[in-house]
A and B are shown apart, each in its own frame.
Chain A
Amino acid sequence: MFPRLIMESFLRQRRRKLLAALAILLGTTAVTAMLAIGTSVGDKMNRELAAYGANIVVYPAADTLDVQVDGINIRPATAGSYLKEADLVKIKNIFWRNNITDISPELPLTVTVRTANATQQVPATGYWFHHALRSGDASWTMGAPALHPWWKLQGSWPSSGGNAIPNEIAVGSDLARQLHLHLGDTLEVQNQPERVAGIVSTGDATDHTLLVPLALAQAWMGRPGVVRRVYVSALTKPEDALARKDPDKLSPKMHDRWYCSPYANSIAYQIEETLPHTRAEQIRRIAQGESTILSRISGLMLLVALAALLAAALAVAASMTTAIVERRQEIGLMRALGATRNTIAGLFFTEITLLALGGGLLGYLLGSLLAGRIGEQVFGSSIAFNPMLLPATLLLAVVVSLAGSAPSVWQAMKMEPATILREDA
């Protein structure tokens, strides 16, 4: 009899049930979409922020970072220690190797440039441009262009020259203007003719420098196989309280947790482990910005989700209030026939729970689709269905629906059959 009463209730008052289900559906759609985006926004954001440069810098432990004034390295080129270029592949062998998206070594130096008009000292930096990094069977293309996607290039990046010393360079746009250089021109650098393969506009001090293949910079310095510093771009987890702890002061269990979380700090720590005598540091500006943006986005999404749930609860409350008023006679009769208050509450709560499960399931599907669309529009890649969100969404739908209908059901429980049944008399 109970299932029959529930079924008939669904068949009747269809419009009201539909409205309540629609409210639940909209609420859970918003919640699912927000949760789906919320759980994957960290990764998406990391990929987005990867476009704004590296988040870890590696340099020799015995060294201090280069001193730069207005982008010009004022350290003597020969001063300090160096890292071995051949060791850089080890960075792709750390625990979080799959999170390393780019490695860009740099070797800054000052060179003598002779043009038709003048001879002058200019800053230059050796880079990987499209360097094939290999480890076993795996191979990755890495270098400065991938790390600085906003750099605008006319022409092409200098070729690495294979096994020979390369004879192509790129010139920063300001320097090219100053030296009246154009694509294809040849200039003499360190007494060697070099062809201008590309002119680069970076929007920063790099525009005043020569950008040369790393091998060429090493040859000019007479230090083959060395680099001054390495910029690493890694997919990281936004910084939280644990990320900021000193790993050496953590308990073994917490240390494991810290180590196995892809914080920029823990990745830097692992790089130091794999490259002895180096310092790897998080570039805090980006990581902190990411953390702030993420917490703001999460806050905004939480607000939207709460508003959607509140709206759903109010709609359910309104729908249930009307439904219960319309069914007063039925409630009065059932009470007169011996139904307890709990039986009446059970009847309505079962109805609303089924409605919430149905609406919640549809809301989950729609919300997942919506999240996918938002992912495509905002982040350029879809957000996959997350089955883990289904129980959470259904639970939320049920809790919100029960909470929304509770005041009306409470009123139904308090209805006095004597009063209701005499209303028509």
Chain B
Amino acid sequence: MSVAATRPETIIELRDATREYRGHAGTVRALDSISLSVSRGEWLAIMGPSGSGKSTLVNLLGCLDRVDAGSVRIAGKDINTLSRKELDQFRAETVGFIFQQFHLIPYLSALENIMLAQYFHSMTDRKEAMAALERVGLGDRAGHLPSELSGGEQQRVCIARALINQPPVLLADEPTGNLDAANQQIVTGLLRSLNQLGHTILMVTHDPEMAQMADRIVELHHGRIVAEREASLAPHTS
């Protein structure tokens, strides 16, 4: 059964969210009065062609940017009302990032990369970081540098880092975009199990098959939501 179905509490709510970028060529409206609600424990896939506003939406949901008009509420807080420092802290506590390029620090070991997220959140805990690494099946790779890990392993380190501070929201930007089929499956499995444990996942993807893993799919075009539907392969529908 879907977590979203059993827990209807709204964790993310966008109301008429508008974001514009001003450049030499004029003003570009990247998001145009979007309204969207995400329930706690829901897995939402965001799709759309390049320039549709996906990145802008991810930045807003990841507390990396603010709206020009409308509002974004995450875990009950309107992020536009937070100071820059409060927003930094809120981001560290609320959002776990999973990047397409992994973004691991090349000179830190797998374990230290996870501890880095702890450090910026509060304080480091080697045991806890090790447990997170074991959870993604990389307990034996703790001392390895990112360059000594495969793409799939790096992404799993990235997932462990995203989870380490137990954020209520996981933001995955093309999490399998750089992976081969085998590693895609491992990462997808991990995301699914995290979702089943109650994590809210917001996933940007170009891959329709991957999107079908989510509870719901939102499609963007020219900064607007043009389609919204339940995914067919979501666990509760299978």
Contact = CB atoms under 8 A, between A and B. Distances in A.
Nearest to B55: A422
Q: What is the interface residue range for chain A against chain B?
A: 20 to 34
A12 B116 CA distance: 18
Contacts of B105: 330, 333
Interface stretch (B10-18, B36-44, B59-67, B187-195): B59-67
B103 A329 contact: yes
Given A341-B84, A343-B120, A4 B64 contact: no
Interface in A317-365: 329-330, 332-341, 343
B88 A340 contact: yes
Contacts of B119: 1-2
Interface size class of B (residues with CB under 8 A): 20 to 34
B153 interface: no
Nearest to B101: A424
A416 interface: yes
Interface in B97-112: 97, 99-101, 103, 105, 107-108, 112
Contacts, number: 69
B107 A339 contact: no
A70 interface: no
Contacts of A416: 64-65
Interface string A1-35: 11010001001100000000000000000000000
A1 B174 contact: no
B120 A421 contact: no
Contacts of A336: 62, 64, 91, 97, 103
B55 A337 contact: no
A425 interface: yes
Contacts of B103: 329, 332-333, 336, 421
Majority SS at the chain A contact face? helix
Contacts of B124: 1
A425 B173 CA distance: 9
Given A425-B100, A425-B173, A418 B120 contact: no
B138 to A, nearest CB: 19
Contacts of A332: 103
Contacts of B99: 421
A417 interface: yes
B117 A337 contact: yes
Interface string B199-214: 0000000000000000
Given A4-B108, A8-B107, A425-B100, A337 B116 contact: yes
Nearest to B88: A340
Given A418-B62, A418-B64, A338 B115 contact: no
Contacts of A341: 84, 88
B112 A338 contact: no
B92 A338 contact: yes
Contacts of A12: 107
Given A1-B124, A336-B97, A425-B100, 14 more contacts: A1-B116, A8-B107, A329-B103, A330-B105, A337-B121, A338-B89, A338-B91, A340-B88, A341-B88, A416-B64, A421-B64, A424-B101, A425-B101, A425-B173
19 contacts: A1-B119, A4-B108, A332-B103, A334-B120, A336-B91, A337-B92, A337-B121, A338-B88, A340-B84, A340-B88, A341-B84, A341-B88, A416-B64, A418-B64, A418-B65, A424-B101, A425-B100, A425-B101, A425-B173
